[in-house]
Amino acid sequence: EVLALLLVLVSPLLRGLALRLHSALTGSYIPGTHSIALVSCLNEHIARDIARYFWKGELEESTEILLLVQTRTSKIGELSNYVRSIHPFEIPEIISLPIDQGNPLYLQWMEESVPRD
């Protein structure tokens, strides 16, 4: 048992398989499985071409506006619930990215302005 556990922890391939199995069994998301790609486009036409997506088997093209909300990590669940309750999409895109670094004055302002609970 200990050897099997050690192999899973040491081998990236086995570790990946173990994490996928855990995710499949528990229904939980494995952090780092997906990424956000920020893409710079020359113009709106090119951005629209890139932004097409498949939904229920059909190619879709729609105009979307990105809303950026800065809040405490502890409030992401509450924010997600609120957005899902009022958003017209069946599955709205809500993704959380932790802030690692930034303008110290802005981060201090956030610390003072956003309530803890």
Q: DSSP secondary structure string, 30-83?
A: -TTSS-------SSHHHHHHHT-EEETTEEE------------GGGHHHHHHHH
User: What pLDDT is attached to residue 27?
Assistant: 72
Question: Considering the entire predicted model, what is its pTM?
Answer: 0.61
Confidence bin at 111 (pLDDT 50/70/90): very high
User: What pLDDT is attached to residue 10?
Assistant: 63
Confidence bin at 96 (pLDDT 50/70/90): very high
Confidence bin at 5 (pLDDT 50/70/90): low
pLDDT more than 90, % of the chain: 31
pLDDT above 60 (res 8): no
Q: What burial class does residue 95 get, using C-beta atoms within 10 Å of its C-beta: 0-12 exposed, 13-18 middle, 19+ buried?
A: exposed
Q: Token match 């899973």: residue?
A: 8
* Least confident segment among 15-19, 78-82, 83-87: 15-19
Q: Could you tell me which residue, 53 or 76, shows the higher pLDDT?
A: 76
Share the mean pLDDT of the chain. Answer: 82
Return d(Cα 29, Cα 34) in angstroms, integer: 10
Say if residues 89 and 55 touch (Cβ distance below 8 Å).
no
